[in-house]
Amino acid sequence: MKHVLSFSFLIFMALSVFGQSQTNERAKWFADARFGMFIHWGVYSGAEGHWKGEKLRNDNDYAEWIFYRNRIEKDEYLTLLDRFDWDEIDPEEWVILAKKSGMKYVTITAKHHDGFGLWNSKVSNYDLGDYTNPGRDIIKELADACKKHGLKLGLYYSHWLDWEHPFGWDHTMELNPISQEEYDKYWQEKVIPQMRELLTNYGEIGMIWFDMWIDHSQAIVSKEELLQLKNLIRELQPNCLVNSRLGLTIEEDPDIDFKTLGDNQLGDKKEDFPWQSPATVAHSWGFHSSDSQWKSTSTLLKSLINNVSLNGNFMLNIGPRANGDVPFEIQQRMLEMGEWLNVNGESIYGAEAFDLDKDLHDWGKITCRKTENGEKLFLHVFNWPLSKKLYLTGIKAKPEKVYLLADKQKSPLHFSSENVFTEIELPSLQPDPYVSVIVVEYKTKPEIEDGLVAKNQEGGFSLTPGNVYENRDEIQIEKKERGGTIPEHVTIFKPQKFLWKIYVDEPGKKSVDVSYSFQNKNGSGMIKVSAAGGSLVHEVENTGKTVGEANSNWVIDNYKSNPLGALYFADKGFYIVELEVVPAEGESILFQWAWLK
């Protein structure tokens, strides 16, 4: 590996990230990297989700939990190591797969909840060094491979749970409690000295990834023990990152480097601190022979893009088999993601969230980055418009240039731009079968017009309680129910107004429809829609019932779309659309949405 950094690379590092104001110096590489590999591999990999003909005793099918779930005796559990093909297992192959997949770091389960270490620990005799001949140290082999191929190394360490140590936490101890003093004996005998080994013997460690998914106030581990562990990391590896599953939130301890979301939980809001989603390609983390819930490459790419568009990372798991093989379906999808990143990586690595609302556009997501000459926006088009026109709403500047990221020649795409609306003409064929990326260049970071409802791919405006212009937090939206057959809505008992702000780029008549449910027989309520100096009034009518699912006695309130007429918009420009719902006394109207086109 060459150690001479090119001038262009230095420029890249200087310009990448950083609008994330709460990213500390340690974590800047992490926020730049955006994409990493998770490896769940251990004794449990030999069981493949089954024990003596019985599948894992839990419908969540997390194969790495089989020791606990199937109540296996410790000595019997270790017989699974007889199924490992040590001549075939080569951790460098996992690192090479990560690099080909466009990943920038690798995190492996050095010790999972079963308490078994993947290195030759002098602290415990429950590790690979004691159960392989000649002794294997998978952590050293992986550390050497990461260094060779230029990837950061992360180590997963189960600190809270340990099913092997007599005083490590095991959930059966809810029946037979142990004392805090006994738990601290485990902590001082195993956790602290093993962490000292991992932080001392394997060179630079990029992160220690802990896995306590509840707050320390709900667990036997104390805050003092957690701080002791974090301070050890800061002492031995000052640049090593620590995640929030240590048991201390970023809010409680600003020295925590990044927040870890729940398993397979994607981001839903922009954050100013680094965060990460741990995710699987299928379902189980450790290899499970019955697993078949494979996510598509498109789904995985959209998950990665979604997180980056909100300043987040995506760490995607492999669960190798007992011979080291990575399942074909996982390899295939990861390599396809790597091919996409070879072309479109500029929109991911070092990119960050833009200022517009995350759900403003129905065609996809936006990331951005500073450049030597200004600012680039990357429009990730999840759904290539049939009209071959892409509408970009909310930006107060005219682009300097628009082109496809996949086009090495950067041939300009024709566009028109006025005020806060840009219309881009697309080629007939999308350049990528998964997600195509359009680059929009500006001289400086463009200002935005906040609070708009964007023109969608159909050329209309979808006006919902969730995208109102004012007082959004005050509106009580009732979530969908019964499998989504009852949609999101607002139940209105007394007169209520909703306001939306739109930008009209094509003057003229626009039809208005309103969807609601009303169950009274003889109502006298009304809905009024006003904009551009005109108004439409609709007398509320009974919408009746419908069947949500056939042959299931599934009868629900019907939500019906009602045409109100048309409003005339004489000029291009900004307009406020007001919708007023006035139910009769003692009645309620369930408002769903309005549609303007």
The CA–CA distances, whole Å, from 159 to 62, 216, 355, 572 equal 19, 12, 38, 61
CA distances from 469 to 437, 498, 535, 577 (A): 29, 8, 19, 9
Name the segment(s) of the chain with CATH classification 2.60.120.260: 461-596
Q: How far is the C-alpha of 360 from the C-alpha of 467, rounded, in Å?
A: 9
Exposed, middle or buried: residue 556 (CB in 10 Å: 0-12, 13-18, 19+)? middle
Phi/psi class of residue 388: alpha, beta or left (left: φ > 0; alpha: ψ in -120 to 50)? left
Q: Which amino acid is at 201?
A: N
Q: 490-492 and 589-596 as β-strands: parallel, antiparallel, unpaired?
A: antiparallel
Cα separation, 162 vs 452, in Å, equals 51
Question: What tokens were used for 547?
Answer: 């069947």
Low pLDDT (below 70) residues in the chain? 1-20
pTM, whole model, 2 decimals?
0.93
Residue with tokens 């009518």: 541
Q: What is the pLDDT of residue 490?
A: 97
Token pair belonging to 278: 């741990």
* CATH superfamily to which 354-453 belongs: Golgi alpha-mannosidase II (2.60.40.1180)
**Residues whose CB falls within 8 Å of the CB of residue 446, separated by 6 or more in sequence, listed in order:** 375, 377, 395, 396, 397
Please, what is the Cα angle at 151 between 148 and 153, to 5 degrees? 100
State the CB neighbour count (10 A cutoff) for residue 452. Answer: 22
Residue 473 DSSP symbol:
G
Cα dist from 52 to 65, 70, 76, 285, 323, whole Å: 15, 10, 11, 21, 20
Token match 């990230």: residue? 17
Segment 49-98, tens digit of pLDDT:
999 999 999 998 999 999 999 999 999 999 999 999 999 999 999 999 99
Question: Where along the chain do the CATH 2.60.40.1180 domains lie?
Answer: 354-453
Range 571-575 contact pairs with CB under 8 angstroms and sequence separation of 24 or more? 571/504, 571/507, 572/418, 572/419, 572/503, 572/504, 572/505, 572/506, 572/507, 573/419, 573/503, 573/504, 574/449, 574/501, 574/502, 574/503, 574/504, 575/501, 575/502, 575/503, 575/504, 575/531, 575/532
Q: Which amino acid is at 435?
A: V
Amino acid 488: pLDDT: 97
Query: CA-CA distance, 403 to 379, in Å (whole number)?
Result: 10
pLDDT (tens digit, 9 = 90+) per residue, 140-166? 999 999 999 999 999 999 999 999 999
| pLDDT number for residue 90 | 97
Residues of the chain with CATH 3.20.20.80: 7-347
Contact between 453 and 467 under an 8 Å Cβ cutoff? The reply is: yes
pLDDT attached to residue 471: 86
Q: Where are the alpha helices (DSSP H) in 244-391?
A: 297-308, 328-344
* Gyration radius (Cα) of the chain, Å: 28
CATH architecture of 461-596: Sandwich (2.60)
HEC-encoded secondary structure of 219-259: CCCCHHHHHHHHHHHHHHCCCCEEEHHHCCCCCCCCCCCEE
How far is the C-alpha of 560 from the C-alpha of 267, rounded, in Å?
A: 33
Structure token pair of residue 319 = 């669960």
Mean pLDDT of the residues in the chain: 94
φ, ψ (nearest 5 deg) of residue 340: -65, -45
- Within 10 Å of residue 327's Cβ, how many Cβ atoms? 19
Identify the CA nearest to 515 among candidates 562, 558, 550, 468. Answer: 562
Asked whether the beta carbons of 438 and 392 are under 8 A apart, the reply is no
Whether residue 23 contacts residue 31, with contact meaning beta carbons closer than 8 Å, is answered with: yes
Diameter of the chain measured on Cα atoms: 85
Short-list 308, 353, 402, CA closest to 36: 308
- Predicted local distance difference test score (pLDDT) of residue 13: 38
Task: Return phi, psi of residue 91, to 5°.
Answer: -60, -25
The token pair at 237 is 């590896």
Residue 472: per-residue pLDDT: 84
Topology adopted by domain 7-347? TIM Barrel (3.20.20)
